[in-house]
Amino acid sequence: MIITVMYDISENKIRKNVVETLEEFGFYRLQKSVFIGNIDKELRKSLSVYMSRFLKREDKIYIIPLTKWCMSHILTAGNDVRPIFSVIRKNQFTV
């Protein structure tokens, strides 16, 4: 399952923990606060629970599953990121 993770976290230490966790789960950074990865449903739940331990009340993390239809209808402007999506589909990211 392709997952997009977006966050709004003000404190550097917490943000660093979230970034390191996403990278450990095999996510690829699309933008400063947007990551994409390929994980199964159980890992998605584990990721959510694990990252919620870092957060303060005002912090936000969105974990959004993307269907094949969504992936095939992504539009971009500027630098085309489609090659990134091709790599993600080929690889299985696991912990």
pLDDT at 3 over 50: yes
pLDDT at 22: 93
pLDDT at 95: 32
pLDDT at 94: 37
pLDDT: is 22 or 54 the higher one? Answer: 22
pLDDT at 18: 93
CB 4 within 8 A of CB 68: no
The mean per-residue pLDDT over the stretch 64-87 comes to: 72
The mean per-residue pLDDT over the stretch 51-58 comes to: 88
Mean pLDDT of the chain: 82
pLDDT at 7 over 60: yes
